[in-house]
Homo-oligomer: A and B are copies of this chain.
């Protein structure tokens, strides 16, 4: 007998065993949770725009610059920056009055890699 799943074009009849032999996903749920968290971080237009500006301006962007790049107020910008920082994607340095943010390109590459792997799994 082949290893093909009980899920083929086999015509089921109402009583047939159905739900207990189901196809299983190729990753653990924990992996799915980890990847979902990655997508979640990118699932907001403000965060996408902030990352965009930060990537495009090597190293020295202050919060007020970022604030002028998105249609939300300063506390909201700080909020989203905090999320990005807690995820390790950006870090900040205080210089005098200002707080300069920059992307951690290594972390960003890791994130992109996780996205690639997950998407390539959706062949």
Contacts and interface: CB of A to CB of B under 8 A. Distances in A.
Contact of A26 (B12, B37, B56, B61): B56
A36 B31 CA distance: 21
Copies of this chain present in the complex amount to 2
A48 interface: yes
A24 B28 CA distance: 40
A119 B3 CA distance: 37
Contacts of A60: 7-9
A108 B119 CA distance: 10
Contacts of A86: none
6 contacts: A7-B61, A8-B60, A23-B56, A25-B49, A39-B39, A40-B40
